[in-house]
């Protein structure tokens, strides 16, 4: 039995996330976790809300709440929505946890002892109107690299270039909008990433199986311009992990907190500690410490391309630089952006369909299927209502849903609500079994390789094969002349429903559960031998005809939603 540690990028706490956030990290991570569990492997799938930094402070201020209360409330909302989408986390933690606080301070102390943290006196933007230093995300302006007019002080969302606030053209305070900014002296801690460049480069070069998107971004940061730069890891904020050197105070750093991008990835490890504290497990170290058993773990991270630099450079600098036996990531699956109807999704600008809104109008599996089957892997992809309607109607309703409805209703009509006996599998059935065996093995290969869209296409082709068989075999015609052979055809069709439920569970878990329940199937084991799987429900086994699995989206509904979600969240 293989062991898989799976993490998805931590969603920021600042509000409900849009569908682009979902497909860029959490949803494909859940797909992989469900698949590996289905194969009988041991899985630890963890995620958490990212609660520190300026986004939390700004969102709390906008909501008129203190930041701790705001984060607690939004964590519960995000956890509820994650459950609504069927995200099967073993634990959904919080970066504001005591475990993450202590672990972050521990890493800071160890890195300082290794000479990888240095104090830097620097000039930082100060807002006279706000009476405070402005951390990176409290400053926006025009990107000097691509001209994007809403670049943040730490990074441009458009071109992903790492920035400093002083690089921005026409900078302004996001608190007050004031442009009355000046540079003032202050002191911060820097992580010596530049010292780790050769080690990081060798490590990345060893990952020959990583997606081109992941390695190209990492290499760009390593080698472009002046190469990998040291990174500031402290900020002048009230909310965050207080700067300490292990358990000791850090002289000169009083009142400062660690930068969110230093402590947030450490939460991956802390989340496993929270998992134990919550009584869900008993041994987190066997997942995270190579001296405690984690050397046989395969660790996969899922994230959007904007998070790649921090997961290929900054967090590995922390892990490698510590010299301690922590588990390093084995594979980083990165995604491009999902755009919305001619533009971009944006949490801060309220543009697009948000996760709570999506669940309010349609069940989760409708969204899961479309998002995963259109995952932005090789390039950006775009959500349009026309494409969504077409995919739901053709893939889910016409192919899968129609197959289940036709075979169960026919059996009830001509036989009973039990698997019929009689007849034997002939050439048509054997040909289908051979075809499905090949397709299932291909599907497994795509899932193992994290090729999300290809896996979805192969799964659909498996559904189509059943429909084509049913159309060719035509048990409704066979029944008139050879009821026993029709019984064999129907028996195969009913077993296909169970097989489809098992194979489809990673993509559409709620519908899969309905299909298994309708078939009265308690065995949801993965099909090692397809022929055996297609005999799992024996003659006489009772079933029920399920309700319609997927209702078609009408033109009227599509037009209504297109208007309702025209790009601005209320």
Sign of the alpha-carbon dihedral angle for 229, 230, 235, 241:
positive
DSSP secondary-structure letter at 307?
G
Q: Which residues, in sequence order, are bridge partners of residue 152?
A: 140
Q: In the chain, what is the straight-line distance between the N-terminal and C-terminal CA atoms, in Å? A: 48
Neighbour-count burial of 430, counting CB atoms closer than 10 A to its CB (0-12 exposed, 13-18 middle, 19+ buried): exposed
Exposure string over 487-507, b if 16+ CB within 10 A, otherwise e:
bbbbbbbbbbbbbbbbbbbbb
H helix or E strand, kind and range, residue 117: strand 117-127
Taking the mean position of all CA atoms in its chain, how far away is CA 352?
18
H helix or E strand, kind and range, residue 300: strand 297-304
Neighbour-count burial of 170, counting CB atoms closer than 10 A to its CB (0-12 exposed, 13-18 middle, 19+ buried): exposed
Pairing between β-strand 42-49 and β-strand 3-8 as defined by DSSP bridges:
parallel
DSSP 218-251: HHHHHHSTT-SPPEE-EES-SSSPBPEETTEE-T
146: annotated binding-site residue?
yes
143: annotated binding-site residue?
yes
Contact 378, 305 (CB under 8 A): no
Count the Cβ atoms, other than its own, within 10 Å of residue 247: 9
271: annotated binding-site residue?
no
CA 89 to CA 83: how far, in whole Å? 9
Please provide the size of the chain in residues: 570
Neighbour-count burial of 203, counting CB atoms closer than 10 A to its CB (0-12 exposed, 13-18 middle, 19+ buried): middle
3-state SS record for 364-388: HHHHHHHHHHCCCCCCCEEECHHHH
347: annotated binding-site residue?
yes
CA 205 to CA 230: how far, in whole Å? 21
Dihedral over alpha carbons 412, 413, 414, 415 (to 10 degrees): 30
156: annotated binding-site residue?
yes
DSSP 195-211: GGHHHHHHHHHT-TTS-
Nearest Cα to 333, choosing from 38, 89, 30? 30
Residue ranges of the annotated binding site for ATP are 347
Residue ranges of the annotated binding site are 143, 146, 156, 159, 347
Residue ranges of the annotated binding site for Zn(2+) are 143, 146, 156, 159
């Amino acid at each position: 039995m293989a062991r898989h540690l799976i993490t998805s990028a931590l969603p920021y706490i600042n509000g409900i996330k849009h569908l682009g956030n979902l497909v860029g990290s959490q949803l494909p991570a859940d797909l992989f976790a469900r698949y590996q569990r289905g194969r009988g492997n041991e899985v630890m799938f963890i995620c958490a809300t990212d609660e520190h930094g300026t986004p939390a402070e700004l969102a709390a201020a906008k909501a008129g709440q203190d930041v701790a209360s705001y984060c607690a409330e939004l964590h519960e909302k995000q956890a509820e929505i994650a459950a609504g989408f069927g995200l099967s986390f073993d634990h959904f933690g919080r970066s504001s946890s005591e475990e993450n606080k202590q672990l972050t301070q521990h890493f800071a102390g160890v890195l300082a002892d290794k000479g990888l943290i240095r104090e830097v006196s620097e000039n930082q933007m100060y807002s006279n109107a706000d009476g405070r230093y402005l951390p990176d995300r409290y400053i926006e302006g025009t990107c000097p690299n691509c001209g994007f007019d809403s670049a943040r002080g730490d990074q441009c969302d458009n071109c992903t270039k790492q920035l400093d606030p002083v690089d921005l053209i026409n900078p302004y305070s996001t608190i007050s909008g004031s442009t009355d900014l000046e540079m003032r002296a202050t002191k911060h801690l820097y992580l010596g990433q530049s010292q780790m460049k050769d080690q990081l480069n060798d490590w990345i070069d060893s990952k020959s199986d990583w997606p081109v998107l992941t390695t190209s971004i990492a290499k760009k940061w390593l080698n472009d311009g002046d190469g990998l730069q040291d990174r500031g890891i402290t900020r002048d904020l009230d909310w965050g992990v207080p700067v300490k050197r292990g358990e000791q105070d850090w002289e000169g750093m009083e009142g400062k907190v660690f930068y969110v991008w230093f402590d947030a990835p450490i939460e991956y490890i802390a989340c496993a500690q929270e998992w134990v504290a919550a009584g869900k497990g008993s041994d987190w170290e066997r997942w995270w410490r190579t001296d405690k058993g984690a050397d046989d773990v395969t660790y996969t991270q899922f994230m959007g391309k904007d998070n790649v630099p921090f997961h290929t450079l900054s967090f590995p600098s922390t892990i490698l630089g510590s010299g301690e036996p922590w588990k390093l990531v084995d594979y980083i699956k990165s995604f491009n952006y999902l755009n919305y109807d001619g533009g971009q999704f944006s949490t801060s600008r309220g543009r697009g369909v948000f996760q709570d809104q999506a669940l309010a109008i349609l069940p989760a599996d409708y969204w899961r299927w479309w998002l995963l089957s259109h995952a932005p892997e090789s390039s950006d992809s775009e959500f349009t209502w026309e494409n969504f309607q077409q995919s739901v109607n053709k893939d889910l309703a016409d192919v899968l849903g129609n197959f289940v409805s036709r075979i169960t209703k026919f059996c009830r009509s001509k036989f009973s609500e039990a698997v019929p006996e009689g007849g034997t599998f002939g050439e048509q059935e054997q040909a289908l079994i051979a075809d499905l065996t090949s397709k299932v093995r291909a599907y497994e290969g795509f899932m193992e390789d994290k090729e999300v869209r290809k896996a979805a296409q192969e799964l659909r082709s498996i559904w189509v094969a059943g429909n084509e068989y049913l159309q060719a075999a035509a048990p409704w015609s066979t029944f008139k002349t050879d009821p026993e052979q029709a019984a064999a055809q129907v028996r195969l069709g009913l077993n296909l429903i169970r097989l489809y439920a098992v194979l489809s569970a990673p993509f559409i878990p709620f519908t899969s559960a309905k299909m298994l329940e309708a078939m009265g199937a308690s065995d949801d084991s993965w099909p090692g031998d397809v022929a055996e799987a297609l005999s799992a429900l024996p003659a006489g086994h009772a079933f029920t005809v399920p309700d319609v699995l997927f209702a078609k989206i009408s033109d009227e509904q599509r037009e209504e939603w297109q208007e309702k979600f025209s790009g601005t969240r209320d």
